[in-house]
Structure 1
Amino acid sequence: MRRFALLVLPVVPMLLAACGSPLTSPALVGPEPSPDFNRGFITVDETTQFYSGMASSTVLSTCGEPLYVAYGGRDRIVWVYQVRELLVRSQSRTVPAKTSEVTMFGEPLHYIALSFQGNSLEIWAPISMGDFFNTEVFDGLLEPRRDEAAEVTD
């Protein structure tokens, strides 16, 4: 027993010192990446509620905050949302279920850009993740409508 104590006692402080060593400190390694659970998104069902002339405050109350604002200037602003589908639990692989009490959100389907003129929704269109910073994609959402252009030239 005495031999065991003589062998273990010197090892314990070394183990404790090694565990607290700065080389293994989380502060030096960096923070853990946060899981992707809090990214704002809307469901496919919410996208069916959009209508031309919808107030931006109504969009905010229906869908929440956008993922980001792609463009803002003068009277025009473009918001981008991530769209996900609602998955329902199915008891059978051959017959899919349309509804279930057990649901979860699926992977992102696409992103949708909403273009507001003043305070009202004018245009909305799906965009791909690769087009987030492609100005050509947003040009169509930023151009005034034909009737607006006609009013300016008259």
Structure 2
Amino acid sequence: MAFLLYSVGTVSGIWLASEWWETGLAKPLREPVFSPNGCYRVERFKPFWVLPDMFHRRSHPDEDRPPTWLPRWGNPGFYRLYDQRNGAFLGQSKIYDLESTSGPLLWGTKSFPEVSAGLIPIGPNVADCIGDKPVHLESNQ
């Protein structure tokens, strides 16, 4: 019984650690992409997986759909979003199959203030730069 509890604990610990290392040790896939007006920077990463792709469940951007188990991955990856003006981290997507769910970068709008890549939500717009349109505050001089 003690061996069974030890085994379950070890496997659980490794799984929890893998949740961190798959994004924490990820490698960039390309150069960053900068928004046209300079508010945002998006970086794309390949997750650090020890096991073959098929042993990682695949999420769908529609949260109502359950993840796929034992999937065939085309191009696993995720995105990170930064405020390019000050380097602040704004958000990170889940790991998706970029081959089937990714698309052009969308910088958000007033009605949908979020940066996304096709169907993949990456992170929120900052209040002074909705949809990559910076608000310039007038200064009294």
Structure 1-normalised TM-score?
0.36
Structure with higher Rg: it is 1
Structure number with higher helix proportion: 1
Structure 2-normalised TM-score?
0.39
